[in-house]
Amino acid sequence: MKASVWIAGVVIVLFTLLGSVFVVGEGKTALVVNLGRVVRADLEPGLHFKWPMVETARIFDRRLQVLDAEPERYLTSERKDVSVDFFALGRIADARTFFRATGGDEEIAVQRLAPIIKDSLRNEINARTLQQVVSGDRSDIIGGQLEAINVGAATLGIDIVDLRIKQIDLPTDSEVITQVYERMSAQRRQVASRLRAEGEEQARSIRADADRDQVVILAEAERDAQRLRGQGDADAARIYGDAANRDPAFYTFQRSLEAYRASFNDGNSVIVLDQDDPFLQYMRSDR
């Protein structure tokens, strides 16, 4: 009987010790709740004690966490829609405040933090044009809002270290896409018209140069042909003259044969001459 009592006492002591000891890991923090009231908070990593049965330890991750949210639609200063997808990097800065505001539920923390960030971004984007939002430096958009966001995040016991914009899109159901497309199409048509005009101008210039070169080439060719014909005629006359000087009778005979050939070439020519005409001197039988 005494042994069983002693064993039961040891078991109770062990369970009591186990229920009164908890460990906070590296990168984490903890708080102790006594009947719903926080009695100790922001406990450092290590071994800690609590009253068993009446106190409960809540351990939270104190490392940086990515707080993601659904893309949000905003209006620019021109009243044009944009869809902004963002995420925040934050961590629990005050475990007591975090527990009181959210009950220690991280999902509730994200749900309450998202509107704070979205409202801050809305103020910044509403003051900018569409071009400034899409083409500008995104760090300028969030740089001035980080301090204001942390004012609201502090009520949740959270510290936002950084805020980044992942993507800025034009909503598919927005008229902005149609306007952007029409503007881009008009710009492309303008560029195409300018290129066609430049091409036509270059084509006219090339055709004018080609026509001018053609005229010059034909004129030079005709000049060279006239010179060659003149040189040929002069050479022919000189050769005929040399031939006539060497044998006048043969030259006369040759010229007469050429005259006969030219006169009767088609076979249908009729020439009426006197029988004593000198033209027929080489056609007489006594010759």
Measured distance CA(151)–CA(159) in Å, rounded: 9
Per-residue confidence (pLDDT) for residue 177, from 0 to 100: 59
Which residue did the predictor score with more confidence, 85 or 207?
Answer: 207
**Beta partners for residue 59, in sequence order:** 30
* CB burial of residue 117 (10 Å; 0-12, 13-18, 19+): buried
Measured distance CA(210)–CA(273) in Å, rounded: 58
Taking alpha carbons only, the member of 91, 95, 89 closest to residue 44 is 95
Per-residue confidence (pLDDT) for residue 264, from 0 to 100: 66
Q: How many residues does the chain have?
A: 287
Measured distance CA(117)–CA(123) in Å, rounded: 10
> What is the SS3 assignment for 185?
helix
pLDDT above 90 coverage of the chain, percent: 1
* Angle in degrees, CA 119, 122, 125, rounded to 5: 160
Which residue did the predictor score with more confidence, 266 or 29?
Answer: 29
- The CATH H-level superfamily of 65-173 is Band 7 domain (3.30.479.30)
Per-residue confidence (pLDDT) for residue 86, from 0 to 100: 82
Measured distance CA(280)–CA(123) in Å, rounded: 122
Instruction: Decide if pLDDT at 2 tops 60.
Output: no
> What is the SS3 assignment for 47?
strand
Q: Which two tokens mark 255?
A: 């010229």
Binned at pLDDT 50, 70 and 90, residue 82 comes out as confident
Which amino acid does the sequence have at 98? F
Per-residue confidence (pLDDT) for residue 36, from 0 to 100: 75
Q: Which two tokens mark 176?
A: 């902005």
Per-residue confidence (pLDDT) for residue 287, from 0 to 100: 46
CB 31 within 8 A of CB 99: yes
Question: Which part of the chain is CATH 3.30.479.30?
Answer: 65-173
Q: Which two tokens mark 145?
A: 């809002």
Per-residue confidence (pLDDT) for residue 187, from 0 to 100: 84
Which amino acid does the sequence have at 5? V
List Cβ neighbours of 168 (8 Å cut-off, separation of 6 or more): 82, 83, 84, 85, 133, 134, 138
Measured distance CA(38)–CA(177) in Å, rounded: 53
Binned at pLDDT 50, 70 and 90, residue 3 comes out as low
Query: How many Å separate Cα 143 from the centre of its chain?
Result: 27
**Beta partners for residue 74, in sequence order:** 82
Instruction: Decide if pLDDT at 199 tops 80.
Output: yes
